[in-house]
Structure 1
Amino acid sequence: MPINFDPNYAEMRRRRFRPIPVRMLVPNVITLLAICAGLTAIRLSTEGRTELAVAAIVFAAILDGIDGRVARMIKGQSKFGAELDSLADFVNFGVAPGLILYFWQLHDLNNGGWIAAMVFAISGGLRLARFNASIDDPNKPVFAANYFTGVPAPAGAITVLLPIYLAFLGVPKPPAMLTALYTLLIAFLMVSRLPVFSGKTVRMRVPPEMVLPLFVSVVLFIALLIGYPWHILSVGAVIYLLSLPAGWKSYRDHARRAAAQTPMPAAAAPSTPSSPYPSPVSESAPDDRPTRLN
């Protein structure tokens, strides 16, 4: 009995098992380190070591800000890396902060506190899924690349832990119900349609005269973060929340300017003689289609 041999099989097999460049692995290793930090934060929160758990979340947020930029710098982007990054964000900035808050105070509300923590985690997952689904939206205006839709997951994780930062500074712990409402508020901001500054389109090139001041600023910020972590995180979270209306206003201004520059389409000529009576469609069916922010 003759055996059918596909001549393309050997080529497909070689292509499947070809070596992967190291530059494709480096961003994924950074993302895996971020997942390890998030999982470690969950363990530390169950053991009551909340300070170290919060520090692990901050470390995961720093790694999350690095991996994408490293991938673009060394041309190590891949679909696998993008999917892994989304998984890391869900664990680090959805599940871990919710559990930290639950073991810190929300457990005082029993099922109510667990629901608040669970809603925050689910909101983080939904926000990431929406981001992945709309990243290639052809209907998105050009200026929308400067904005996120809703508070991004890392920023949501850093801001939702604000009650813990304040408690570490000596501020009396708020009632558990107030912490739960604040957690739900941040969860709502994550899944909302609120335009938020992204900063992804900021140019990565630095003028020569600004290199040394930039180095000094980065070193100063890291030193302050290490020496006064709860002060810096508290101030940063408050400033970020106060800046959200500015992002919304900026987006609306861009949208108005874009609408003003768009030429109005010419009216289509009627295919039938005009009638002296109003059209029943135009009278009874107004245009009630929702307007999308992006």
Structure 2
Amino acid sequence: MSDLFPPFAPDEHEPRRRHFKPVPFRVIAPNIITLIALCLGLTAIRLAFEGRFEPAVIAIVIAAFLDGIDGRVARLLKGTTRFGAELDSLADFVNFGVTPALILYSFVLHELKSVGWITVLVYAIAMALRLARFNVMLDDPNRPEWKKNFFTGLPAPAGALTALLPLYLSFLGVPVVDGAVAPVVLVYLLGIAFLMVSTIPVYSGKTMGKYVPREMVLPIFVLSVAAFGLLVSFPFEMLAVASIGILLTIPVSAARYRKLARQHAAEAEPQPEQASRSDGTV
């Protein structure tokens, strides 16, 4: 048997095996948060089809919270990557496009059979189109700085949490699980889908928190603790109020956007003196 495997000396000119560079943990950490959020979204689907709607909604809320911090963690750790951005977009589609629609279908829209399923498809596709448009707009170098304070259409997490308003109301005792109420839920979900793909500006709030006046620090601490306590003690009441508040602030955001657009358009127009000088007249 020794003749079958004779000893040999390694070739000195043989190319060495390529070793991949180690990846810093600061790059991996935001992706782990995104994957945990994705697992929560998928678990919410299972909980909904088991009839456990309350924990399904809580899973979506936690996924939305993690979606809000993964990008900030990446920027804080200087671990932003193209891979992370694509993974986050795909996770958003599942968590905020597919999962809420399937939960609502299992909850009440199945009463409408094929029409309810078509509504689910419309909402999920609207979320996919909204995320695709968002990714394209990020690559636009000519976008004015002030426009970055606004989303075009209802953002994905807000759209998902707002779409689940019928469940919050049901948990609070409002009769929603009924064939007569199902068409109302259908129209409401289509309205949320329209808001997501529309060009209505929605305030993003990304600039909030960069600079806080010193006299507002303690009140913000107190309000934050109070809001957290209310959310823990009355989760579905707070979610219902937040959903209605998001919808009510859309006209305010649109009015603010139009006002800023007029101001910047007026600043961009040449003044009469500047125009006459450019023409060579005095």
TM-score interval w.r.t. the shorter chain?
0.7 to 0.9
Listed one character per residue, the Cα deviations across residues 74-98 of structure 1 (whole Å, up to 9, x for unaligned) are 1111111111110110000000000
1:54 aligns to 2:60 (yes or no): no
Q: Distance in 1 between matches of 2:41 and 2:96?
A: 8
Q: Which residue of 1 aligns with 2:157?
A: 154
Greater shift, 238-247 or 165-174, is seen at 165-174
Listed one character per residue, the Cα deviations across residues 148-199 of structure 1 (whole Å, up to 9, x for unaligned) are 0000010000001111101110112161011000000000000000100011
Label 1:258 to 1:46 Cα distance change in 2 as closer, same or farther (>3 A): same
Q: Distance in 2 between matches of 1:33 and 1:197?
A: 27
Shift of 1:138: 2.7
Greater shift, 132-141 or 50-59, is seen at 132-141
**One-letter amino acid matched to 1:245:** P
Of the candidates 237, 245, 252, which is equivalent to residue 239 of structure 1? Answer: 245
The 5 A counterparts of 1:113-124 are 113-124=116-127
Q: Distance in 2 between matches of 1:89 and 1:194?
A: 20
Of the candidates 247, 260, 267, which is equivalent to residue 266 of structure 2? Answer: 260
**One-letter amino acid matched to 1:238:** I
Listed one character per residue, the Cα deviations across residues 181-226 of structure 1 (whole Å, up to 9, x for unaligned) are 0000000000000100011122435566655544443332222111
SS in 2 for 1:137: coil
Listed one character per residue, the Cα deviations across residues 254-285 of structure 1 (whole Å, up to 9, x for unaligned) are 1101111113597999xxxxxxxxxxxxxxxx
SS in 2 for 1:77: coil
The 5 A counterparts of 1:30-109 are 30-109=33-112
**One-letter amino acid matched to 2:243:** A
**One-letter amino acid matched to 1:51:** E
Q: Distance in 1 between matches of 2:248 and 2:254?
A: 11
The 5 A counterparts of 1:1-294 are 13=18, 17-173=20-176, 175-206=181-212, 210-264=216-270
Shift of 1:67: 0.7
Report % sequence identity: 56
SS in 1 for 2:190: helix
Q: Distance in 2 between matches of 1:142 and 1:211?
A: 27
Greater shift, 169-178 or 250-259, is seen at 169-178
**One-letter amino acid matched to 1:152:** P
Q: Distance in 2 between matches of 1:226 and 1:100?
A: 22
Shift of 1:10: 7.5
Contact (CA 8 Å) 1:145, 1:201: kept in 2 or not?
no
Number of residue pairs matched?
Answer: 259
Normalised by the length of structure 1, the TM-score is: 0.82
SS in 2 for 1:200: coil
The unaligned stretches of length 5 or more in structure 1 are: 270-294
Contact (CA 8 Å) 1:156, 1:190: kept in 2 or not?
yes
Q: Which residue of 1 aligns with 2:4?
A: none
Please, what is the CA RMSD of the aligned residues?
2.4
**One-letter amino acid matched to 1:116:** T
Q: Distance in 2 between matches of 1:106 and 1:185?
A: 15
Q: Distance in 1 between matches of 2:118 and 2:251?
A: 28
Shift of 1:39: 0.3
The unaligned stretches of length 5 or more in structure 2 are: 1-12
Shift of 1:117: 1.1
SS in 2 for 1:72: helix
Contact (CA 8 Å) 1:40, 1:53: kept in 2 or not?
yes
Label 1:143 to 1:208 Cα distance change in 2 as closer, same or farther (>3 A): closer
Normalised by the length of structure 2, the TM-score is: 0.86
